[in-house]
Amino acid sequence: MADIQKMVDQLNQLIDQATEIVSKNNWFHRPHEASLALVLSNRLETAITRAALPASAYVEQLNQHRAKPLLYKFPEFYGIAVGLRDDIAAGWYSSVVELVHAETYGDFLEMADGLLNQGYKDAAAVITGTSLEVHVRSLCVKHSVDTTTASNSPKKADTMNADLKKADVYDGLQQKQITAWMDLRNKAAHGNYGDYDQAQVRLFIEGVRAFMMKCPA
């Protein structure tokens, strides 16, 4: 629990500093406060990325605001940090975070297995989905399929999945299976925990592991 408290303490420190700025009107037009906001924005982004699960709602929200100007992203990062801090402090997130950051897990799928075996089906689903998306992106790189859009933004997993099918890396049946897996991952990431059960997550992990062996990147 020491690591969890350390996360909360770090977030508290950053949130307290950020509160002093966001609570003031026109902070953006004051050079000193704008400079502090830039530093805090970067520190909040790093702290959220370190504390939150991959592909969690926190990281998803973070990604939506990374490219925005400081005036807009700083208050958003502040709000995300407050929500994450409160959820960790409330206890429901703490045990998952401890497990995710444990050094005994060698890779994402082993981590997902361990979480599922201890009853954390939702975190296991999110992590398996992250592993799947990383593998899909790696397959794109291997087969010279673009991983970014015309505007140089990262492609979504569903788009890369369709592109890999078009490139004959795998067939339509595999594409549909990956789409179904991504749907399960999205349900977990968005808190729709009642839409799937532990057995489905077990099949998800086993299916992704088999897919990686069948289509190595």
CATH topology of domain 105-214: Four Helix Bundle (Hemerythrin (Met), subunit A) (1.20.120)
So what's the pLDDT on residue 27? 87
Could you tell me the maximum CA-CA distance found in the chain, to the nearest angstrom? Answer: 57
| C-alpha–C-alpha distance, residues 113 and 118, integer Å | 9
- Whether the predicted pLDDT of 176 surpasses 90: yes
Q: CA Rg, the chain, in Å? A: 19
What's the pLDDT band for 201 if we cut at 50, 70, 90? Answer: very high
pLDDT of 18-69, one tens digit each?
999 988 888 888 898 899 999 999 999 988 887 776 667 788 889 899 999 9
Q: What is the pTM of this model?
A: 0.54
Which phi and psi angles does 202 have, rounded to 5°? -60, -45
Domain ranges of the chain: 2-97, 105-214
DSSP per residue over 174-205, as a string?
Answer: HHHHHHHHHHHHHHHHTT-GGGS-HHHHHHHH
Question: What 3-state class would DSSP assign to 154?
Answer: strand
Question: What 3-state class would DSSP assign to 65?
Answer: helix
